[in-house]
Structure 1
Amino acid sequence: MTSSTPPDLQRRAFLRRSGQLALTGTALPFAMNLAALGEAAAFNAPSGDYKALVCVFLYGGNDYANTLIPYDDTHYNLYSAIRGGGSGQTAGGIALAKSALTSTLLNPIAAPVDSQGQTGRQFALNPTMTGLAGLFNTGKMAVQLNVGPLVKPLTRAQYNSNDKVSFPRPPQLFSHNDQQSIWQSSSPEGSTVGWGGNLGDLTLENSLNSKLVFTGISVSGNAVFLSGDTALQYQVSTSGAIKIRPATNTWVYGNPSVAAAITSLMRENRVHKLENEYNAVTKRALDAESAVTTALSETVPSTVFPTDSLGNQLKMVARLIKGRVALGVRRQVFFVSIGGFDLHDNLIRDHGTLLGRVSAAMTAFYNATVEMGVENQVTSFTASDFGRTLSSNGDGSDHGWGSHHFVVGGAVDGQRYFGEAPPINVTDGTGWPRVYTAAEQWHVGQGRLLPRTSVDQYAATLAKWFGVTDTEMPQVLGNINNFGTPAGRADYPWDLGFMT
């Protein structure tokens, strides 16, 4: 195909390619598949339309129980008892004091529904998350409860079953590297191809506008989701485009003419295939660097960002969105990250500091989108390896599965909870085979949440807002037909409702 190929044929080529890559039989990536979805959405988008998704990845596995904390007395007391809290609802063990939660109490339009259909639950955010609490309480943030990778809906008894064919699980649960890889590339650790890279491969196959390389941009170094069979991911630093130093006028002993000569040599076509391919890659990098530099020449948003790593990453995303016209894109997915969440120890000492950085940076980023007039066109959301145990190991918590995540933006149906609030429970059934109470159904030991919402559903909800149609959805989310109407599971809908 050439760039003159009709849009419907380009779309079919994309869907054929992505469909082949999606049908892997494992849980699909939570966030990074959306880099590829962006291309499908762009085919459907009206001229001049722009939307962006920004994934904020919390590396290490975020502790869900000290991020979104039960606040009503009944459930707070259960939480505190499990986590070693003191008498009178005071801090102790890895439990936070209830009095510390007043400033981050969430005031939803409607109370969340728990797994027994009750609506008496209240929650507060970690005390350091005042910015995101404010966004929730003013309708700009929603909470998706208990989301994680699932191949298909799964109960506790099915999870314990030896029948892994009828009741498949995502591979290598509770493993950092594998779960990070699954969420970014559909496969456990060792995967070399991600969804953003697959999109790049398609771009090369179709000879589409080279600026489509900016559909997926990482401001957080190497991320497998942007690696393809032949395409390479595009990365920027918090300072801007990553330059090829010999080709800049400020290097090569300060001699611009030498730098210009080197640049010319790098752009030449060569007879030798290896040399020619090297030059083609170099030329693409030089052209991309030039385009990004031009885009970043736009006026910098005046919103003040935190000066830590995550703040600087999201500030760069805001600048790239500001320069979106120069980049020639209508759909973009950005990846930023913050590490340090593997808190088997020092949870109380370190966790709040990390969450405070997440809250401050995401709040500043939302304010920047308001300043630029694109708050309804940009949605940011959190992701992590997995949640953690509700039970304490003494000074921290251990690897888990499901977790709670936040979605922020003007197009979010905010001040609401979506999904089911999980029980506060760590007991493990009785008898053999095990008989579980209702409260024990939605964890798989030590309060490790069994996800009640799949990453496919989460991704599909974001993708629908992005512009992907229901007809196209199964082509880009290989497990989505295991949920919703096609599977006869109205209790696991494709559209979770958190986007308007």
Structure 2
Amino acid sequence: MPISRREFLRRSMYTTLGGVGLYSGFGNLRLLQAAASHSNYAFNDYKALVCVYLYGGNDSFNTIVPYDNATYATYAGSRAGLALAQADIQTNSLIPAAFAGGLPGGPPSDGAAYGLHPAMPELRGLFNAGHAAVVANVGSLLYPITQQQFQQGRVQPPPQLFSHDDQTAQWQTSRPDDANANGWGGRMADVLSSGNANPQFSMSMTLSGTNLFQRGVMVNQYAVDPGGVQAMSYLGNGPESWVAGGTTDDTNAYNALIRGPSPSNALERAFAASSSSAVDYYSVLINALGQAPALTTTFPDTELGNQLKMVAQLLQVRAKLGASRQIFFVSASGYDTHTNQLAQQQANLTQLSQALSAFYNSTVALGLDQSVTAFTASDFGRSLSVNSGGTDHGWGGHHFVVGGAVRGQRFYGTMPSLLPTAAGNPDDTGYGQIIPTTAVDQYGATLASWLGVSVSDIASIFPNLGRFNSSNLRIFG
């Protein structure tokens, strides 16, 4: 679908300003040097990570819900007006596998029986078939922290807790201590891209616009619309003319701007480089997608379903892009459920469950189920306590990891208490927000290790990882 000149300029400026921002801070300069020196990655297989970001903060305590009598009673006592029916949860029960081989991951740590929200039968099927796992109580952390340490101020928590913008930035960078940090997906791409046959083609592809998660120093994220690759309509007669060197004034002027001698101004150089790359990427990608067969998997016609459908189409053409490693970003909005949560979360989780299931099925059809892993992330979990028909901004929350390589049908991490604050819940801040027990650093480092990032590079990408008791959750064995 062609885009207007105004829309093109808006997107170009986002890309350019993002690129300039990459060079701020000594930490990023050090990572640039590290990325430049790590050119020894070589892969003889293919792997991709797909970040499914839930904007607004998903209420995971009504996503993964206990149904055994004792724990359900505790849950219902904390969720007045929002508690889901016990029978509905039991119908959608999760059947965890036992601990095996001395590895973490098995039944939930609190010994309770859990099920998924009734809107999620597809994801329940993936879990019970061993293709999905639950990672419990994940959140942004600087250090491990207990309720007493938090309340007495003896351990530093992340700054600006419970703020959408700040917590989104901290989730997507894993660096609460560095406001200028790039995303941990972008940092992974910086060190891994040399292993692709065509490292000039970005291994970071977004189906949901510019995001901080994929912002890197060496590798810029490349945006693809869920409906296909968009052309810039004001450039002459469209992409065929300007890629081929058309003769219109607009085309010639634009080509002179992005292909001419290197400008002296840093902003102009960043703009020219990103625009030139976008033109080159478009030419390769539109040809590759045009030759790909139609997918055999049916996807739901939803915001998230259409994004993941395009990811599946991009997976089909990975070889033509010279890709051995890729990182994708998709997202869904509407998770900030202060009111009307029951209806809103029903719609949200229906979309999530159906889209993730269709995507996993597409990887099976493509023979890539062992090679592609999708995982959820969100601003924060929501409060265990309720307000007027909804929940407030929280902290820790549960997440899903989906893929054939996952040691699925298992819970990882520690399930928190579901007691109300007034009853002395030992895991909340004192206001209903649950304190995380698994750091974003641990979650991200586990995914990075599976993708093929070396131990030394993981330490550079997640410099706070050593503060936590485990650097790998062993979700993949």
TM-score (norm 2): 0.82
- With over 3 angstroms needed to count, the CA separation of the structure-2 counterparts of 1:448 and 1:203, relative to structure 1, is closer
Describe the superposition over 1:422-470 as per-residue Cα deviations: whole angstroms up to 9, x where unpaired: 11112357xxxxxxx6xx3222134421111111111111111111233
Q: What secondary structure, in the 3-state scheme, does the structure 1 residue paired with 2:310 have?
A: helix
Residue in 1 aligned with 2:147?
156
Residues 1:450 and 2:435 aligned together: yes
Determine the structure 2 residue equivalent to 1:497: 474
Against the structure 1 CA distance between its residues 245 and 39, is the aligned structure 2 distance closer, same or farther, given a 3 Å change threshold? Answer: farther
Aligned Cα root-mean-square deviation (Å): 3.6
Please state if 1:46 is matched with 2:43: yes
Matched, 1:468 2:453: yes
Shift of 1:300: 3.0
Shift of 1:202: 7.9
Q: Determine helix, strand or coil for the equivalent of 1:415.
A: coil
Normalised TM-score (structure 1): 0.79
Instruction: Provide the secondary structure at the position in 2 that maps to 1:172.
Output: coil
- Superposed CA offset, 1:406-432 (max 9, x none): 000000001111112211112357xxx
Q: 2:355: which partner in 1?
A: 361
CA 478–230 in structure 1, closer or farther in 2 if over 3 Å, else same = closer
Gaps of 5+ in 2: 1-22, 99-105
**Which range moved further: 61-70 or 212-221?**
212-221
Residues 59 and 128 of structure 1: CA distance in aligned 2, closer, same or farther (over 3 Å): same
Pair 1:125 & 2:116 matched: yes
1:222 to 193, 210, 228: 210
For the structure 1 residues 464 and 471, does the alpha-carbon distance in structure 2 shift closer, same or farther, using more than 3 Å as the test? same
Q: 1:60, 1:339 within 8 Å by CA — same for their partners in 2?
A: yes
Residue aligning to 2:416: 422
- Report the equivalent of 1:5: none
One of 157, 160, 169 as aligned partner of 1:169: 157
Verify the 8 A CA contact 2:28 2:181 in the aligned structure 1: no
Aligned residue among 56, 61, 68 for 1:65: 61
Cα deviation, residue 252, structure 1? 11
2:14 equivalent to 1:21? no
Matched residue, 2:5: none
C-alpha separation in 1, matches of 2:188 and 2:135:
28
Question: Structure 2 matches for 1:261-300, cutoff 5 A?
Answer: 261=252, 265=256, 268-270=259-261, 273=264, 279-297=272-290, 298-300=292-294
* 1:130 and 1:359 in contact (8 A); partners too: yes
User: Mind listing any 5+ residue stretches in structure 1 that lack a counterpart?
Assistant: 1-16, 25-32, 85-92, 430-436, 485-492
Name the structure 2 match of 1:384.
Answer: 378
Check conservation: 2:67, 2:113, Cα contact below 8 A: yes
Residue equivalent to 2:227: 239
- d(CA) in 1 for partners of 2:167, 2:151: 20
Residues 107/355 of structure 1: CA separation in 2 closer, same or farther (3 Å cut): same
Larger displacement relative to structure 2 (373-382 or 471-480): 471-480
Show CA shifts across 1:121-160 (max 9, x none): 1111010101100000101000011111111211111111
Contact 2:381 2:395 survives alignment (8 Å) = yes
Deviations 1:354-387 (A, max 9, x none): 0110000010000000000010000001000001
Question: 1:89 matched to which residue of 2?
Answer: none
The structure-2 alpha-carbon separation of the partners of 1:309 and 1:273, relative to structure 1 and needing over 3 Å to count, comes to same
The 1:294–1:390 alpha-carbon spacing in structure 2 relative to 1, beyond 3 Å, is same
Match for 2:278: what amino acid?
A
CA deviations over 1:93-115 (Å, ceiling 9, x no partner): 1111112224311111136343x
Among 79, 86, 104, which residue is 1:83 paired with? 79
> Which whole-Å deviations, capped at 9, do the CAs of 1:171-193 have from their partners, x for residues lacking one?
11110010001112335897584
More deviation in 185-194 or 381-390? 185-194
Q: Distance in 2 between matches of 1:210 and 1:252?
A: 23
Q: CA offsets, 1:311-367, max 9 Å, x none?
A: 010011111111111111211111100011111100111111101100000100000
Query: Deviation at 1:264?
Result: 5.0
Residue 319 of structure 2 corresponds to residue 325 of structure 1: yes
> What's the counterpart of residue 112 of structure 1?
107
In structure 1, C-alpha distance between the alignment counterparts of 2:225 and 2:84, rounded to whole Å: 36
C-alpha distance in 2 between matches for 1:324 and 1:128: 33
Does 2:138 match 1:147? yes
> Matched residues, percent identical?
39
Cα distance 1:134–1:277, how it changes in 2: closer, same or farther (>3 A)? closer
For 1:393 and 1:324, how far apart are their aligned partners in 2?
Answer: 47
Match of 2:464 in 1: 479
* Residue pair 1:201, 1:231 contacting (<8 A) in 2 also: yes
Residue 380 of structure 1 aligns to a residue in which SS?
A: strand
With 460-469 and 349-358 compared, the bigger mean Cα shift is at 460-469
Amino acid at match of 2:211: A
How far is 1:77 from its partner?
1.2
Any idea what SS the aligned residue of 2:427 has?
coil
Measured after TM superposition, the shift of residue 289 of structure 1 is: 1.0
- The 1:216/1:43 distance shift into structure 2, 3 A limit, reads farther
Secondary structure in structure 2 of the residue aligned to 1:398: strand
Equivalent residues of 1:426, 1:445 under 8 A apart: no
Alpha-carbon contact 1:38-1:466 (below 8 Å) kept: no
Q: Distance in 2 between matches of 1:498 and 1:152?
A: 22
Q: What is the rounded CA distance, in whole Å, between the counterparts of 2:443 and 2:35 in structure 1?
A: 15
Determine the structure 1 residue equivalent to 2:103: none
Query: Alpha-carbon deviations, 1:179-229, whole Å to 9, x = none?
Result: 00111233589758445556788899x9x9874442211111121234456
Question: How many residue pairs are counted as aligned between the two chains?
Answer: 439
**Cα distance between partner residues in 1 of 2:92 and 2:247:** 59
| Alignment map for 1:385-424 (pairs within 5 Å) | 385-424=379-418
Q: Determine the C-alpha separation between the residues in 2 that align with 1:465 and 1:252.
A: 40
Report what 2:332 is aligned to: 338
What SS class does the counterpart of residue 240 from structure 1 fall into?
A: coil
Residue type of the partner of 1:285? A
CA apart distance, 1:63:
0.6
Tell me what 1:94 maps to. Answer: 82
Whole-angstrom distance in 1 between the partners of 2:471 and 2:409: 21
Q: Deviations over 1:244-284 (max 9, x none)?
A: 32346348999975376566545642476467765444322
